[in-house]
Structure 1
């Protein structure tokens, strides 16, 4: 039976910035309109965090039962390592996804944006079928596409919309940037596992692209949000605050482009998440200042 520390590891806390970043940027946009609703922002954060933890446990269950996680370099896999039964991990996944559902329904009922129930249903299906089901799309090189959509435009613009109505063009820049940086976290994760995934037939985008092009993709996903900050600055100089992430991005970029492999990429995962957080915080402040101005 897994202990508390192992369950925490299984939740993969290094991926939680993927949940925090879009809520930061979406709320920053709402603050600028003067219509920010802190309670709604908190509910959006609960939805996002519960979704990330739920999908992490769901991936652990699905990959573990397929045997994909039998030989992994990264964080502890509960099922693959044998410290927890598949049934207990599946139950944990359903519990967290249910929390996301409950918080989402409450948020929709308070904001009265009923159409978002459909968006939420698609998000839940996307969370489970990423590695679950007979034909998981994460095994077909589509994981990055889903991460971009769900943690970029959907999460950022959804957070802004329930608080302040239709988002601005600058909010869209923030949503695209967060989506790219969320993808970069997944890309470095899949780069680390490229050899083991190929051996078990898990055709991630990294497996399909190969080592060299995956590293180039990672670099593009880190650099392009900085370019978006410059583009946003054409409308409002406050958007340049996103460039505070540039110094933070230097080390992981240098290491990935320098060819590090295996366990060395585990640390890069956390560094990449930090790049996303810093860029998102700077952009959130920039959005608030830009729209207020």
Structure 2
């Protein structure tokens, strides 16, 4: 393998493209709901997708860099290879890539801010700060048991509701100072609960796998604080949201097609068996990837469930 090919492979490992479907999933849900409510706007939806993916990659770079310099990534870790700790890329280069990616997300976000105004400006900047301070800064909240809350809020509720909002707001004037009436219904927030749950479930699997090494490194994730049993209950509750919320929408008068995500339940049950019975990377690394696939499949089904009646 050439040096250039090795370098490209290392950067792909740092960016973790396997996480991108998880970044796209909430945007898909928000867009499906926008179609159902008749406020779909293709350009804001596309920019929201690009912005979400860049935030995902930037956060991946940040975690790779800061976990390495803090000593949280050790040789005993069962997870996927980290390029900074593994010496594949110079730490300074990963740090520059992190800032460059977040900077590009801000450029993409200029259009979304023009459409969504001050609310999107605040949310966008908060998302970047949260992505960096998850494992960076003087008080990284991911080391204090707050990572699950960050993922639930930003990679679920905010991502889905924000995607819906910029499309609805695009039908009004430019740069609103506050949320225009009718652009952020409660349904847009509730629809984000399944993505929030599954996104958090991905982190829970990761933290169950790394519980022992994280504890030794002084990284107090929620799994370290709660222990295995309560962390597994957390995983089950987070996954359970994915199947309770479509039923809630159906009972609230939405068409039966919103129940389409229930077809993914067998996959969730299969992953759950692994999560409840294993702690090793050999089993949980595939479970981590499968939870990401579950999030994406569920989100596509949920979006189709919303959009289908409006387009057929």
TM-score by length of 1: 0.94
2:33 corresponds to: 29
Q: State how many pairs are aligned.
A: 292
Q: Post-superposition shift, 1:247? A: 2.0
Among candidates 226, 245, 262, match of residue 243 of structure 1:
262
- Following TM superposition, the consecutive aligned residue runs of length 4 or more in structure 1 with deviations greater than 3 angstroms are 167-170, 289-293
1:274 corresponds to: 293
In structure 2, distance between residues paired with 1:264 and 1:47: 32
1:54 corresponds to: 58
Q: Post-superposition shift, 1:260? A: 4.4
In structure 1, distance between residues paired with 2:165 and 2:108: 16
In structure 2, distance between residues paired with 1:242 and 1:173: 15
Gaps of 5+ in 2: 170-182
In structure 1, distance between residues paired with 2:194 and 2:310: 18
2:73 corresponds to: 69
Among candidates 257, 262, 267, match of residue 281 of structure 2:
262
1:185 corresponds to: 202
In structure 1, distance between residues paired with 2:279 and 2:91: 33
Q: How does 1:1-293 map to 2 (within 5 A)?
A: 3-71=7-75, 72-109=77-114, 111-165=115-169, 166-234=183-251, 235-236=253-254, 237-289=256-308
Q: Post-superposition shift, 1:96? A: 1.1
Q: 2:193–2:241: 8 Å Cα contact kept in structure 1?
A: no
Q: 1:74–1:263: 8 Å Cα contact kept in structure 2?
A: no
TM-score by length of 2: 0.89
In structure 1, distance between residues paired with 2:195 and 2:123: 18
Q: Post-superposition shift, 1:134? A: 1.2
In structure 2, distance between residues paired with 1:287 and 1:167: 16
In structure 1, distance between residues paired with 2:85 and 2:161: 36
Task: Say which is worse superposed, 113-122 or 132-141, in terms of deviation.
Answer: 113-122
Q: 1:239–1:290: 8 Å Cα contact kept in structure 2?
A: no
Task: Say which is worse superposed, 121-130 or 166-175, in terms of deviation.
Answer: 166-175
Gaps of 5+ in 1: none
Q: Post-superposition shift, 1:208? A: 0.5
Aligned-residue Cα RMSD (Å) equals 1.7
In structure 2, distance between residues paired with 1:250 and 1:112: 39
